[in-house]
Amino acid sequence: RDFNERCAQCSEVNWGLTDGGRFYCRSCHNVTERSREVVNTDFISNTRVQTISKHLRKQEKTGMCCEWYVCEGFQLILKKQAEALETLGVCPQMKDEILYNFWRHYLQKSKQAYCNRPAGEAVRALSVCDSSTDVDSEPERPSLLHFLSLSESEGDLQTDCSFASSTSKVSGSTSVLSGSVDGSLYLMKNQKEKLRMTMPMTLSFCYMALLWLREPMTLSDLLRFVVEGHIPYLNVFQHFPEKMKLHGLDLKIFFVESWPTYEEVYNKMLELAAYLDLPRFPDITDSCFLHPDMLCMKYLMEANLPDELHNWTCRVVKKICIGEVDFLTLVPGNKSTRKVKYDVLAVAVIVVVLKLLFLLDDHYEWLLSDFAEERNKNNKEGGLYFEFKKWYKVIKCSLDVEQKKLDEERAKYLWRCEKPLFYSAQKKSNVLKRRQMVVNLQNQFGKLSRSVRPAEKPNPSSFQFCWSEENTDGSCFHGHSLKGVLQEKRGLLTAMNTDYWLCTLKLCNEKLCGHLAHYKEVDFPQSYHFVLRLFSFLLRIQPSYIHDEVCVIEHKLFNKNLYKKKPKYNTGRRK
């Protein structure tokens, strides 16, 4: 009653007290930094403040868990992921401004916070406040806003473990089926209407923030860093504060036993951007890293292909107008435009250029390679011609080694959390002893079997292969010439190859079939499949997704010839 200042958020004067003694607005649940000043402690000896302090001391002695909501668990995960991305070089603005605003908007849109009254089902899950200990007569859901800052330190979260507790007792408000208050309600069917938060959606939030800032990190890079352990995702709940206990349905929400997939994270990002009614994203111009010309340069380097191919990728990008700002920039909710997967688009352009120059029909590329090999033997003074056969052998050897290493790491991965889960202080010592016994047995059997200890996770890098022109073994092809496959015609360099085979004559309905084109390895040349396999390894996606994008680019590139009344493509070749 003595605090008459207006709320900075809603301008109302309707204040209540939190468990920590701070003032919060009952209208919008905004929590201020002001706290209630106590002048005479004898006057309030039998009031609510003394009751809460006694309860907190009792909680510390007995080791009881605190109340917490599922959205607060996801908030801690987003905080950890944002900090990891900042360590990888992403600007701090992503965590403190962009991601924070996206998360705040999501909580308000889903009516979990920043609203007049949070979701009704969550409110009904709370027990009725005890009138003898509550100063305010109206039961309110506790405010979460003080703890929504993603830049808040972890120490504050651990000390203020009662951040989601109501004025009722801790043991009476938590869900019977879960450690969180709303764990059982969170998995109900009607929650799907609000775009229910999931673990893959945490990565969708991160990628959406990266895309808004136009950071030089593609979605495939983000997912690869997750797999390599640089970004918290698997068993990330082990970083929760000690008093946030997980059990029952909480594990179904936060515990994952599979790697995040490209399509799932990407589609959820589009759905999330439309759900939040976000405006048009910042323009993707030709100076941005996500522009096809920039990404093609990166993937040409990583695939160990000649630098001269970049001129051809730029020509294809310009020819079919996929480098335009309006095509590349994301407009949430616009169903008339096809959404761009920047990394997949770039590698698909490279595949189309390789088909234009080398055909990739298991015959023509080998003839060109034999010609380049003879020329390189006879002429040692000039630059080397690019040999497709030699490139194939070098790349295949490195690719097989890295693929085998990746498969072994995934097969040996322990999905079980390193930090044991226990649900009461009485069981803590037994669980820790059992866990230590398991670790000791693993170490002993490892010594007997002479198994090699797992190596430390590699340093994060945008490149998975390292090709240097300083190598004397000739394994780097960046500086090799394409003169063996080009000819000058009317002052312009054109391909000696005049044929082209289309992957498909007609695109399928992506909504009905799931893909734009049919793809089976046995139906296509091995050279084409090898190139798809290489780029699918680099992006950690299925070859069929790259094949779909290749088909789309081909139909844009040869659109005039495809839709003539008498098409020339009856046999799938251009002559």
Whether the predicted model's global pTM rises above the 0.75 cut: yes
CB-based contacts of 358, cutoff 8 Å, min separation 6: 364, 365, 368, 388, 485, 497, 527
From 114, 116, 132, select the one nearest 169 (Cα to Cα).
132
Angstrom distance (rounded) from CA 181 to CA 164: 9
- For 392, phi then psi, to 5°, come to -60, -45
Residue 137, pLDDT > 70, answer no
From 398, 273, 400, 254, select the one nearest 330 (Cα to Cα).
273
Residues 296-310, mean pLDDT to the nearest whole number = 96
Q: Tell me if 350 sits within 8 A of 317, measured CB to CB.
A: no
Residue 277, pLDDT > 60, answer yes
CB-based contacts of 530, cutoff 8 Å, min separation 6: 392, 396
Taken in order 58, 60, 64, 65, is the CA torsion positive or negative? positive
171 pLDDT band, cuts 50/70/90, is very low
193 vs 439, residue with greater confidence: 439
The percent of residues above 90 in pLDDT, for the chain, comes to 42
DSSP readout, 200-251? HHHHHHHHHHHHHHT-S--HHHHHHHHHTTSS--TTGGGGS-TT----BHHH
* Average pLDDT score over the chain: 78
Residue 423, pLDDT > 60, answer no
Q: Which pLDDT score is estimated for 123?
A: 40
Token pair 């430390």: residue: 456
Tens of pLDDT, residue by residue over 324-378, are: 999 999 999 888 788 899 999 999 999 999 999 999 999 999 999 999 999 888 8
Tens of pLDDT, residue by residue over 488-518, are: 888 788 888 889 999 888 888 766 666 778 8
Q: How many CA atoms lie within 13 A of 173 on its CB side?
A: 26
Token pair 């008459």: residue: 4
Distances (CA, A) of 553 to 124, 130, 303, 540: 54, 66, 20, 21
Query: What is the pairing mode between strands 22-25 and 15-17?
Result: antiparallel
Q: Which of 20-29, 50-59, 551-560 has the lowest mean pLDDT?
A: 50-59
Q: Residue 279 pairs with which residues in a beta bridge? A: none
Residue 130, pLDDT > 90, answer no
Distance separating the N- and C-terminal Cα atoms of the chain: 87
Tens of pLDDT, residue by residue over 57-66, are: 444 444 556 7
Q: Which of 353-357, 433-437, 460-464 has the lowest mean pLDDT?
A: 433-437
Q: Tell me if 278 sits within 8 A of 332, measured CB to CB.
A: yes
What amino acid is encoded at 410 in this protein? R
Length of the chain: 575
The percent of residues above 70 in pLDDT, for the chain, comes to 73
Q: Where are the domains of the chain?
A: 1-34, 69-114+194-278, 308-333+342-445+462-562
206 pLDDT band, cuts 50/70/90, is very high
In degrees, rounded to 5, the angle at the alpha carbon of residue 44 between the alpha carbons of residues 38 and 49 is 75
Residue 110, pLDDT > 50, answer yes
